[in-house]
Each structure stands twice: as structure tokens, then as C-alpha cells.
Chains A and B, each alone.
Chain A
Amino acid sequence: MHSFTKNFLKGIIRSNPTFILLLGLCPTLAVSTSLDNAVGMAAAFIFVLLASNIIISLIRNYVPVRVRIPVFIVIIATLVTIVDLILQGFIPALSKSLGMYIPLIVVNCIILGRAEAFASRNNTTNSIADALGMGVGFAWAIVLISLIRQLLGTGALDLFGHHLFTVPGLADNPVTIFLLPMGAFFAIGVLLALFRWMGVSTGE
């Protein structure tokens, strides 16, 4: 059980995929315009990562080493297609606003990276811990960035149609640039510097 906790905790801060490893930034920056999108993307991401880690750790001894990457890609692409169809069928509004970034999970470096670096070398229990840790690490990163962008960009906070609160003053004159693509670069740049200043990460 000790290694389970260790593998789980590792992805959350020490090797956080977004802020430390700087992997899979495309969805993190692209869909973090609102909290809804961030939560939806995080859920889809965790599902794909968890399922791919489980499947790959189960078949790791049966896949010839030379063809392992194509095999991993097919497994991940199948899982992504499942998520895509589920979202289209049950939550069409979310599927529409996430757009092509859902199918693009397939080329997310984190998922293929974990398959290659972890799941293909470790047993299923540890792979589940690894996937959950990395997934939670990704989730809090994207939710944090979307919180900052939505709060500064609109001056209010909504989650799935429920109005949470409004920042007095800011709602009348929101910093709209945070909703534009540039705002994402700015938010993550400042966050990275903040974490480094706090000593959480040491830089490359």
C-alpha cells in the first residue's frame, strides 16, 4: 500500500504534469476559458488516462516491444472516441464548447508518456495510482487556471449554470483579455513564476 500512496502523490505536486513537467499544455490553455469547460476536460482526461493505464499495464507482457507505441496509440484513440461519443450523446453543450480538443486528447503527451514511462513497466495497482495522481494533478492545474481566467475575465463565477458569486466592481469592467488566448499564456506564466518563487519547483 505504501507504493500506491507514493505513486498517487507524485503527480499532484512534485511531478505535476502541467506546472512541473509542462506536458499536455494544449487542452490546459485552450479550454480553460470557463470553469465548466475545465471540469469537463479534467473528467474526460482522467477517464482516458485511468483506462489507458489499466489496459496497458494488463497487457504489458503480451505486447512486443517494437510495436508497443502504435498499440498504445490505438488503445488511447479508442478510449478517446468513447469519451467523445458519450459527451456528444449525453452532454452536447459541453461537447460543443470543448470541440476538437476532446479528440485531441489522443495526442496529449501526458497520456502516451504515462503509458510508455509507467504503465508498460509497472503492475496494475501502481498504474492506477499513477493515473489517478497524474489525473488529479492535471485537474487542479486546469481548474486553477480556469478559475483565474473566468474570475478576472468576467468578474463572476458560474459552474454548470449555477451562479456562485460576483466580484463587486470587476463585473462591470472585467479584464476581458483573460478570456482571450493571450490571457492563458499570461496566467500560466505568472503561476509558474509564483510556484518557483514559493520554492515548489526549481525550474528546468
Chain B
Amino acid sequence: MSNLIAIFFGMALVNNMVLVKFLGLCPFFGVSKKLKSALSMGIAVLLVMVVASVVTWPIFHFLLVPYGVEFMRTVIFILVIASLVQIIEMTIKRTNLTLYNALGIYLPLITTNCAVLGITFINIDQAYTFSESIIAALGAGAGFTLVLIIMSGIRERLDMADPPLAFKGTPIAFITAMLLGLCFLAFGGIIR
């Protein structure tokens, strides 16, 4: 159990997807201008990460490994994730229209989100068990959402700030990301 907790917080804080592994930078800078859209994007990524981990882990260990075709994982995983995103989008559209209106436009973008493909690779590379990989996906998604929300909160205030003209917009967002990363560095001590 303590092992699972360590994986969760390790993924969410210490090895944060965005700030340490540089995965999912496009939504991090693209969708972090408003708090509401940041939250929707974060939840959508969390959802797809967990579902993708649940599906790709058995595919790798029960299909690719027995036949000795592990090198096919890139092709298989991206196809699985792309179809999963489609299925999730259709399911949400049918069952919960409010949720669809909130997440709808973000779901197709997630197909090419490297954070989702990244977490499925991490699950394999770290040799996580099935339950560990689900916890890792939850942690990674939670960490992604957390950073996205913090960033959007900062950027809403940053719009009113007055940086040097050359830094306005994206450059200052990168500098902010650096400071945010420095803060997250402090979490390094909690996992031994």
C-alpha cells in the first residue's frame, strides 16, 4: 500500500509530467490562460490517462510480450489511444451532455498529447504491475491537472502585470514555468 502511495505522489509531484518530464507542454501553454478551461483539460487528460493505462498494460503484457513483438508498442499504443479517445468522446456525448460541453473540444486534442502516450511508456519502462500502473496514471493526471490549474491562476494575474515588452505573453509564461518548477523541486525530498 505504501508503495502505491509513493508511486502516486512521486508521479504527481516529484516527477511531474509537465515540469520535470516536459510532457504535455502544448496544452500547458495553450489551455492555461483561463482557470475553467484548465480544469476541464486537466480532468480530460486524467480520464484518458487512466483508461489508456488500463487498456495498454494488458495489451503489452498479454499480447505483445508472448509473441515477442514489443517493438510494435509505439504503433499499437498510439492507435489504441486514438480509438479510445474517440470512444470516450462518443460515450460522453451520449450520456452526459453537460460534461461533453465542458470537455468536448479538449478530447480530440488529447490524442496527440504526449503526456498520455508518455504515461503508457512509463508504465512499461518502470515495469509497474497492473494496479501500480493505474495509480501511476492517476498520479500523473493529478499532477498535470494541479500544475495546469496553478499556471492558469498565475497567468490570469500575469495578464495584468507589466513585464518588459519583449517578455509579454509566451516568454514570461516560460519564466513563470521555471519558477513553478523550482517550487516543485522542493517536493523531491518527500520520496526516498
Contact = CB atoms under 8 A, between A and B. Distances in A.
Interface string B130-157: 0000000000000000000000000000
B114 A185 contact: no
Main SS of chain B's interface residues?
helix
A32 B21 CA distance: 12
Interface in A58-115: 70, 73-74, 77-78, 80-81, 84-85, 99-100, 103-104, 106-109, 112
A188 B181 CA distance: 14
Contact of A192 (B72, B75, B170): B170
Contacts of B87: none
A100 B185 CA distance: 22
B187 interface: no
Contacts, number: 114
Contact of B25 (A29, A81, A192): A29
Which of A23, A85, A104, A183 is most buried by chain B, counting CB atoms within 10 A of its CB? A104
Nearest to B30: A22
Given A77-B79, A103-B73, A193-B167, 11 more contacts: A27-B22, A29-B25, A81-B71, A104-B117, A180-B185, A186-B174, A186-B178, A189-B172, A189-B173, A194-B166, A196-B171
List 10 A-B pairs, minimum CB-CB distance, nearest first: A189-B174, A185-B178, A197-B166, A30-B22, A193-B171, A182-B181, A77-B75, A192-B171, A193-B166, A100-B121
